[in-house]
Structure 1
């Protein structure tokens, strides 16, 4: 097992087999790129040099491509596991308690998929009772909507309850006002590093040449606004008010032990979406409200894998840009307590979710803090952590 000389790092889930990237700032200093090691951030500009690490986002490093990503990871791992490197590297370790974590990359575009069969079936039953819960196209392509890059925020940022149109309680015409059904969604996001030209498609086999790593995502949703607006063009204002991401981007290379073939698909996808590598990911998530875990969604249950999502995203020739983010959609399993949002957990608000102390929720209340965490098996046999994404719902403004 590869171990680091950083005290406590190997037991923390942030050892040499993880090394997630982020952007941090010390008081009075500009933000720069670092890698988390235990309860410290390794300042890469100090330890490695290079203008891309003195930048306020990961984008310059992401744009260098997969060869640079792998070479840099190997170099960092070597420095943190070799005792000979310790005297030179240790001065560049900064305690996490002394820094502010920033959004790790500048988001170019944001796309959210709908890749869980269980989630799609549950939502279909809740929103369209009596109809086929899963539309005929769903098993032939990973359905998605284009989101709002400008409202992607880092963990810890407060989220304002959105206003919008929703159907009146008596079933009549619409009313306008604060959403009464704000929800959280447990998702996994994929961060694009290498861009493509307009008109070029990306085959499923080139996934790891374009996607650098993953972040945890909470795609906040206003279910009442969503239900009124989504016919016929899909989500818009019910989703675009905020999407929270974790401050750490875990490289794909750290997830090698979590990979598997993926869930069986039937009917078989068309050739351009046929899998050629194992990009199912066995990650265990935990969704908590005010510190109480209400669900443990299993990412291994997802129907569509991220290589298929990327291939579909570019299948019409749409270009990729450095900093593009696409997310999996809500992660849900078949068993009780494995659904990734309150819409499912409360079955559309009809079955309140119990909280400690006698409280309960159908949807989120002002002041509620939602936290998503995740773990995976590390390459050295231990457990790696994907950080957390947390946000507190604030009252509507205006």
Structure 2
């Protein structure tokens, strides 16, 4: 397909040079869509009737469409008309978009938790994501999410998030720890802006109430047993995305930067910042392989606090390590895995993967050299499987088993919907 598109662009360029004028788009149609509205596809596309035909513009439109949750695959066709110009046809293969979500994890400590959700990724047939989840991790939690990246135009959108999250969180201090009931009750509004095909921004405010309640474990006069405070969070996101999708395969590079500034209504708690950048790199290997990589580097205000923002966690960064086994004010994590398609029959794909998750953390109040301390370094290789439905968005049931090879390591299964990263 790519070679054919390149040949078409070369022929178009020669045609323009020979005749000394640009041929324009006379007609633009969408084909194959049932639920996704043609008017929505045309709204976010750069192709316009009366504009000069540009193969690079068509290529970018197709990549943009394949990034939408509602579209499994897309390609274009161009038909010349000597009298009128060019007829452009976008062919669409849709995804099923009303998707349940499930995340389950266990460790060798018989720890068990799950998150069950339901999301519609094509609400009102216009690429709007709406849904929520229920979580049981000792305590009950819930969230409701609304995200419309093209609500106002092909550049401006809106996201609204409501969450009431309660977990049992370990708090680390003086070479010991205790357990607290942690609650975060929040409401967030974000403005979304797509500057161009590769660059996207988010900016918004989050108002939340945070509460810690001591349950059991060690105590210290310097660590409060109860804490209840209201906070404001300013969030900024910059997403540089050059990923391309072909069903279960991904190729390209992506950089996702997040910065948060948190200020408290309680004068006894200092303001702080936290920022991190995820670098993704994917490479096709032969016909059936995909090498996937994620590197995260993050830093926060280096206060010596038991409530540090970066955690070592099963479902976030290190598969098999357990549920929030440590915290820090800095984080470096590398996830690398090779995904191999073992079986592909029609809509079904069985994918196997071998991975290594490795990371280190800076202790609260500690120097950057903490990243090199052996106690802080976690390395977990492992194996897993993916059961994939090619025509249902994110219909990837994954199961991974991670086995620690560093000091004080654990092991365990991690289940979930969607690729780990």
Q: TM-score, normalised to structure 1's length? A: 0.25
More helix by share: 1
- The structure showing larger relative contact order (alpha-carbon pairs under 8 Å, at least 6 residues apart) is 1
Q: TM-score, normalised to structure 2's length? A: 0.24
